[in-house]
A and B are shown apart, each in its own frame.
Chain A
Amino acid sequence: QQQVKQSPQSLIVQKGGISIINCAYENTAFDYFPWYQQFPGKGPALLIAIRPDVSEKKEGRFTISFNKSAKQFSLHIMDSQPGDSATYFCAASNGGFKTIFGAGTRLFVKA
């Protein structure tokens, strides 16, 4: 019940394409769903986050879509750029005391 399942494990996208990463959770007590971006040799950094009272949140080229009934959420990266190549982690938090991370998706954007 505490798992967050993330797919795909790796993703290759052409420059200018759309990158889509999906996550699913089971615990309905989760109330905060952040996405983190991690470059090699660096710590994860918050990219964008959503709460379950909205179905979509957009920040620049990054959009989170949230489906509460299906307990799924996804990250869309529009107009993907080589600089977006990184590992992306979805996460879920229940009141904040414990954040569960997905296994990560390695994104490579081909120039």
Chain B
Amino acid sequence: DSGVTQTPKHLITATGQRVTLRCSPRSGDLSVYWYQQSLDQGLQFLIHYYNGEERAKGNILERFSAQQFPDLHSELNLSSLELGDSALYFCASSATTGMNTEAFFGQGTRLTVV
């Protein structure tokens, strides 16, 4: 168990809908990262938050947004969903501002858009 909790584990929704994925980082970790893993694809960095502030953006679509709350949990909001958004979404956390120390991944949320 990495200590990073993601909910829900599975999500099935229709095209055009909006969903929210939740991540609770390890106790004490201030950084939260979101990654997308499509079938047979590597991990695509989406966004990084540190102590409530956005620090870096990757290949995140405008339809996607995220935030980190004062209690350090984070939410990834995906709207106007398309079939191609079906993927595993991972959250990771680390103690520092970056992933140049060990980062711990949650078990992911599998999103299926039908």
Contacts and interface: CB of A to CB of B under 8 A. Distances in A.
A32 B99 contact: yes
A49 B4 CA distance: 20
Contacts of A95: 98, 100
Interface size class of A (residues with CB under 8 A): 20 to 34
B100 A32 contact: yes
A45 B4 CA distance: 12
A73 to B, nearest CB: 15
Contacts of B100: 31-32, 93, 95-96
B90 A44 contact: yes
Given A96-B96, A96-B100, A89 B107 contact: no
B11 interface: no
Given A43-B106, A89-B43, A99 B99 contact: yes
Given A49-B102, A93-B100, A96-B100, 15 more contacts: A34-B102, A42-B107, A46-B102, A46-B103, A46-B104, A93-B98, A95-B100, A96-B97, A97-B48, A97-B98, A98-B45, A99-B103, A101-B45, A103-B42, A104-B43
